[in-house]
Amino acid sequence: MNIRWIALALTAVLVTLSLTAPAFGQTRQSPADRGFLAGKKYDLNGPAPRLANGHPDLGGVWDRPGVQDITKSFTAKDGMKQVGQAELQFTEAGLKAYKSYDPKNDYAGACLPYGWPRAIQGLHPLQIVQSDDFAAFLFEQNSWFTAVPIDGRPHPKDAKGLPTWFGNTVGRWEGDTLVLDTIATNGYTMLDYTHPHSTELHLIQRFTRTDFGHMNYEMIAEDPKYYKTPIKNTRTFVLRPNWETMEYSCEETNLDQIRNGTIKWTPPNIE
Amino acid sequence: MIRTGLTILFICTGLLLASPAFFAHHSASAEFDETKPLEFTGTVRLVEWVNPHGYVQVDVKDETGKIVTYRIEIMAPNGLYRAGWTKDSVKPGETVSFKGRRAKNPQSMNVSGRLTLNGKPLFTSTEGDRRGGQATENP
């Protein structure tokens, strides 16, 4: 009886592995001349590098847990982690916006700018390039980028008069943590693939490079118009020395569908 | 022993359910029609290695003997590359099988579903697109 169970289980393992294993492409080492750290020596568990000004250098190509739902939590490969917020307290306006989301009218599918929450939670690489006064966040997904001043300056006085997809972001250091503060989003983006945010979103993102190969990330979304309390997610990113930020044109194959009406985007009603 | 066997079975089920085939791409519902299933075996014509979706063009003989060319949507090539796939993972002239669905647009030859070569899945995300590639050791 026991031997039959073991045989059955082993057969199940073999069948499963044969179904899920690809014909080619076992996870492989990149060619030696590929990867943003190609040819360089590094220790993923070594200390976080610093710029000459003493601040940690967050630069590198980062892998992030793919988060489609900010209420969910999970662990992923190589120490990546997502801790979501299971309970969200919608306001009446927030619940109305949540229920009216139509995935067929999704802005990302129409190759429109992702905005911070969707861009930071995606699967494709994020490359950070940092100087004393600026940090450039280069998202491979759809080749979006945003360059953020990190010298502690405030938002420009006219920020709310110029709402955009990524909003207006400024950064400052709190010890070894880079804190980004975003306001003035246009309301067309979302917190993930189901949860909306309004034009009143105040997004705070905290980046702490804990060692050479790892980054702690915390997102706090304050949006009193749609949510009664702030929403918090924490994540762990890992460095990918053998990755490069590759070109990614959403329009390259979606343009046909946008032209023939298969992909349509109608701006949502912003109250 | 029985507990071990059952544990292994549960793990296998989890592995199978975690397979990318079970997660629809977020834009798939806009283009493809679940009520129009399609299966075929054909010959690879060429691979379009472009984002956000690549395509594998496959020539298939229809019931009248005429050759029609389907365009099978595959995952984002950047992620496939990091998972170890290349544009040459399948070559023109090779025989592949497909099971999936047609596009809503009756004029479109685009299809979406599972592509296999000798019974093994081709151009799936496996480790790469979802979890990231392996960090290398120091060269």
Q: pLDDT band at B13, cuts 50/70/90?
A: very low
Could you give the C-alpha distances from A14 to A17, A90, A268, B15, B115, in angstroms and in order?
5, 47, 49, 12, 21
Cα–Cα dist A258/A254, whole Å: 6
Amino acid identity at B107: Q
Q: What is the pLDDT of residue A169?
A: 98
B27 touching A, CB under 8 A?
Answer: yes
To test the contact with chain A by mutation, choose from B13, B33, B78, B87 the residue with the greatest count of A C-beta atoms within 10 A, namely B78
B15 touching A, CB under 8 A?
Answer: yes
Contacts of A18 in chain B (CB under 8 A): 120
Give contacts of B 86-115 with A, CB under 8 A.
Answer: 86, 89, 103-105
pLDDT along chain A (271 residues), means of 10: 59 48 43 86 96 98 95 93 96 96 86 96 95 98 96 97 97 98 96 96 98 98 98 97 93 84 83 67
Closest approach of chain B CAs to the CA of A259, in angstroms? Answer: 13
Query: Does a cis peptide bond (omega within 30 degrees of 0) precede residue B52?
Result: yes
Give contacts of B 60-79 with A, CB under 8 A.
Answer: 76, 78-79
ipTM attached to this prediction: 0.74
Among A20, A22, A239, the residue with its CB nearest the CB of B15 is: A20
Closest approach of chain B CAs to the CA of A160, in angstroms? Answer: 31
In chain B, where the domains are located: 31-131
Buried b vs exposed e over B92-127: b needs ≥16 C-beta within 10 Å? eeeebbbebbbbbeeebbbbbbbbbbeeebbbbbbb
Any idea what DSSP says for residue A185? B
The helix/strand/coil state of B60 is strand
Q: Which CATH class is domain B31-131?
A: mainly beta
In chain A, where the domains are located: 60-153+163-260
Cα–Cα dist A80/B32, whole Å: 33
Residue pLDDT, tens place only, A231-242: 999 999 999 999
